[in-house]
Amino acid sequence: MITSFTHYLKTTIEFGNGKRHEIKNLIRDRGAGKVLVVCGPTVYKLGMIDDILEAVGEVGVAAVVFTEVEPDPRVATVDKCGELCKNEACDLVIAVGGGSAMDVAKGAAMLAANEGSIHDYLAGRGEDIKEPVNPSVPLIAVPTTSGSGSEVSECIVIVDTNKIKDIMFSPMLAPAYAVIDPEMTYSVSKTTTIHTGLDVLSHALEAYSSVLNDAVAELMALEALRLVFKSLPKCVNESDEEARNEMAYASLLAGIAQSKCGCVIPHAASCPLTVYHNIAHGLGCGMLQTATVDYNRDVCSEKYRKVLDYIGETVPEHIQAADVLIRKIKGLFAAIGLEEKLDLGRLTEEELKGLASDAMMDDGVNVNPREVTEETLVRIYKQSLK
Ligand SMILES: [Fe+2]
């Protein structure tokens, strides 16, 4: 029986090669007076916002550019970008980049219409948390990587002043438009393609495993998983434009799935790896998948069987689905040139406990289908690290 659910999406999706050229119509339709374009320094230097600035110019609208987005952005960056948006009275924000650029822009668009610092709105504040009262400045998200899914999500991830990766959830954060033009991802480096591709795998598998039900989102997760196993190796090893197109679509589907069903252990446990050991978000999440499948094997056996069935793997009744799925994930790692375990050097028991204690603050541990304790996470780190 299908469990009851509510599925809605506030974001209008524009998907397809060349879609970036239609952004000028969106700017005109919204009657924007001044646009804030948000990106990181690399995207700016590579000229990836040139088409956007040209579109803004063509419709006779002024533009302000913020290029200070860093990977795993901090509170101060979002606050600064929000202040710029407010001071310049921008009435449309366009984010161009990966998850970091989109998260900064989403936070800034909210702050431009509301009081305070982004820190006041982060979930880690507990009961003291502030809620936005005014709708954000409308935002167009233009991803340049296939990974974060931030273009369709109602959340942002920001590193707070205590070096904790914290999250803000609010329907106010949903972009008005997601313009996904796979051509924007064609020149992404091999390393970034691997890391962001693993983020797609993680969003899809974790959303599908979570205790939150949304049958539409779960179907999206299954299709995203099929496409990751099929197309990620081709994106990494060949300049295959069709595979890039499919990964852009998989990223969108997995982004919606994780936005509706959440993520579980790997996303929670990867956050401290990023903050304290500089491990790229997607890589950290990807490397924690097999140990998590192993830990959830009994509570998720039916789901894992469905995943394998959907992607065309037959599992004999007497074989545990988790074992086949673990083999399949390890096969993907081999196909994209990754080792099965992450090398952080030797970590002491105390250091592992410290990572686990940080990870326990992430909501992902609460929606995992099997109860998670600090000991669980230490065990998962040990299984995933060299
Ligand atoms: Fe992620």
Taking only the tens place, the pLDDT of each residue in 122-170 is 987 666 889 999 999 999 999 999 999 999 999 999 998 777 888 999 9
What is the distance between the alpha carbons of residues 229 and 384, in angstroms, rounded to a whole number? 20
For residues 234 and 348, membership in a common domain is answered with yes
Establish if 1 belongs to a structural domain. Answer: no
Instruction: Determine the distance separating the centroid of ligand 1 and the alpha carbon of 288, expressed in angstroms.
Output: 12
Average pLDDT over residues 99-122: 97
Instruction: Determine the distance separating the centroid of ligand 1 and the alpha carbon of 202, expressed in angstroms.
Output: 7
Instruction: Determine the distance separating the centroid of ligand 1 and the alpha carbon of 273, expressed in angstroms.
Output: 13
Instruction: Determine the distance separating the centroid of ligand 1 and the alpha carbon of 68, expressed in angstroms.
Output: 21
Per-residue pLDDT at 37: 98
Instruction: Determine the distance separating the centroid of ligand 1 and the alpha carbon of 30, expressed in angstroms.
Output: 30
What is the distance between the alpha carbons of residues 28 and 225, in angstroms, rounded to a whole number? 37
For residues 223 and 176, membership in a common domain is answered with no
**How many C-alpha atoms does 163 have within 13 Å on its Cβ side?**
10
Q: Which of 139, 159, 185 is the last residue of a domain?
A: 185
Task: Give the CATH number, domain containing residue 220.
Answer: 1.20.1090.10
What is the distance between the alpha carbons of residues 18 and 180, in angstroms, rounded to a whole number? 9
Instruction: Determine the distance separating the centroid of ligand 1 and the alpha carbon of 26, expressed in angstroms.
Output: 28
Instruction: Determine the distance separating the centroid of ligand 1 and the alpha carbon of 204, expressed in angstroms.
Output: 10
Q: What is the DSSP code (8-state) at residue 74? A: B
Classify 225 in phi/psi space as left (phi over 0), alpha (psi -120 to 50) or beta: alpha
For residues 73 and 218, membership in a common domain is answered with no
For residues 174 and 140, membership in a common domain is answered with yes
Q: What is the DSSP code (8-state) at residue 264? A: -
Establish if 196 belongs to a structural domain. Answer: yes
Q: What is the DSSP code (8-state) at residue 120? A: G
Q: What is the DSSP code (8-state) at residue 40? A: -
Establish if 4 belongs to a structural domain. Answer: no
Instruction: Determine the distance separating the centroid of ligand 1 and the alpha carbon of 319, expressed in angstroms.
Output: 30
Q: Which of 116-125, 159-168, 333-342 has the highest mean pLDDT?
A: 333-342
Establish if 2 belongs to a structural domain. Answer: no
Task: Give the CATH number, domain containing residue 139.
Answer: 3.40.50.1970
Per-residue pLDDT at 308: 97
Instruction: Determine the distance separating the centroid of ligand 1 and the alpha carbon of 59, expressed in angstroms.
Output: 35
Instruction: Determine the distance separating the centroid of ligand 1 and the alpha carbon of 281, expressed in angstroms.
Output: 7
Percent of the chain with pLDDT over 70: 99
Instruction: Determine the distance separating the centroid of ligand 1 and the alpha carbon of 267, expressed in angstroms.
Output: 6
Instruction: Determine the distance separating the centroid of ligand 1 and the alpha carbon of 180, expressed in angstroms.
Output: 17
Instruction: Determine the distance separating the centroid of ligand 1 and the alpha carbon of 162, expressed in angstroms.
Output: 21
Q: Which of 185, 202, 235 is the last residue of a domain?
A: 185
Establish if 6 belongs to a structural domain. Answer: no
Average pLDDT over residues 165-189: 94
Query: Does residue 231 sit in helix, strand or coil?
Result: helix
Query: Does residue 364 sit in helix, strand or coil?
Result: helix
Instruction: Determine the distance separating the centroid of ligand 1 and the alpha carbon of 187, expressed in angstroms.
Output: 21
Structural domain span for residue 133: 12-185
Instruction: Determine the distance separating the centroid of ligand 1 and the alpha carbon of 88, expressed in angstroms.
Output: 32
Instruction: Determine the distance separating the centroid of ligand 1 and the alpha carbon of 199, expressed in angstroms.
Output: 5
CA-derived radius of gyration, the chain = 20
For residues 278 and 178, membership in a common domain is answered with no
Choose among 256, 232, 257, 226: nearest CA to 244: 232
For residues 169 and 219, membership in a common domain is answered with no
Instruction: Determine the distance separating the centroid of ligand 1 and the alpha carbon of 61, expressed in angstroms.
Output: 34
Per-residue pLDDT at 126: 67
Instruction: Determine the distance separating the centroid of ligand 1 and the alpha carbon of 34, expressed in angstroms.
Output: 31
pLDDT at 18 exceeding the cut of 90 = yes
Amino acid at 231: S
Query: Does residue 178 sit in helix, strand or coil?
Result: strand
Instruction: Determine the distance separating the centroid of ligand 1 and the alpha carbon of 349, expressed in angstroms.
Output: 26
Tokens 């909210």 found at = 110
For residues 178 and 231, membership in a common domain is answered with no
What is the distance between the alpha carbons of residues 309 and 326, in angstroms, rounded to a whole number? 14
Q: Which of 167, 185, 203 is the last residue of a domain?
A: 185
Average pLDDT over residues 36-46: 96
Average pLDDT over residues 242-247: 97
pLDDT at 384 exceeding the cut of 90 = yes
For residues 322 and 204, membership in a common domain is answered with yes
Establish if 103 belongs to a structural domain. Answer: yes
Per-residue pLDDT at 346: 87
CB atoms inside a 10 Å sphere around CB 15: 14
Average pLDDT over residues 268-296: 96
For residues 210 and 274, membership in a common domain is answered with yes
Instruction: Determine the distance separating the centroid of ligand 1 and the alpha carbon of 101, expressed in angstroms.
Output: 14
What is the distance between the alpha carbons of residues 315 and 158, in angstroms, rounded to a whole number? 40
Instruction: Determine the distance separating the centroid of ligand 1 and the alpha carbon of 173, expressed in angstroms.
Output: 17
Instruction: Determine the distance separating the centroid of ligand 1 and the alpha carbon of 291, expressed in angstroms.
Output: 17
Q: Is the sign of the CA dihedral 84, 86, 92, 96 positive or negative? A: positive
Average pLDDT over residues 262-273: 95
Instruction: Determine the distance separating the centroid of ligand 1 and the alpha carbon of 283, expressed in angstroms.
Output: 10
Six-digit token string for 104:
């900064």
For residues 216 and 169, membership in a common domain is answered with no
What is the distance between the alpha carbons of residues 315 and 286, in angstroms, rounded to a whole number? 23
Establish if 28 belongs to a structural domain. Answer: yes
Instruction: Determine the distance separating the centroid of ligand 1 and the alpha carbon of 113, expressed in angstroms.
Output: 27
Cβ–Cβ < 8 Å for 143, 180: yes
Amino acid at 66: F
Asked which of 38-42, 62-66, 253-257, 273-277 is least confident by mean pLDDT, the reply is 273-277
Establish if 7 belongs to a structural domain. Answer: no
Instruction: Determine the distance separating the centroid of ligand 1 and the alpha carbon of 114, expressed in angstroms.
Output: 27
Instruction: Determine the distance separating the centroid of ligand 1 and the alpha carbon of 28, expressed in angstroms.
Output: 33
Number of domains in the chain: 2
Instruction: Determine the distance separating the centroid of ligand 1 and the alpha carbon of 296, expressed in angstroms.
Output: 19
pLDDT at 180 exceeding the cut of 90 = yes
Percent of the chain with pLDDT over 90: 89
Instruction: Determine the distance separating the centroid of ligand 1 and the alpha carbon of 209, expressed in angstroms.
Output: 15
Cβ–Cβ < 8 Å for 356, 347: no
| pTM given for the model | 0.94
Six-digit token string for 142:
């233009």
For residues 380 and 269, membership in a common domain is answered with yes
Average pLDDT over residues 274-291: 95
For residues 156 and 295, membership in a common domain is answered with no
Per-residue pLDDT at 125: 64
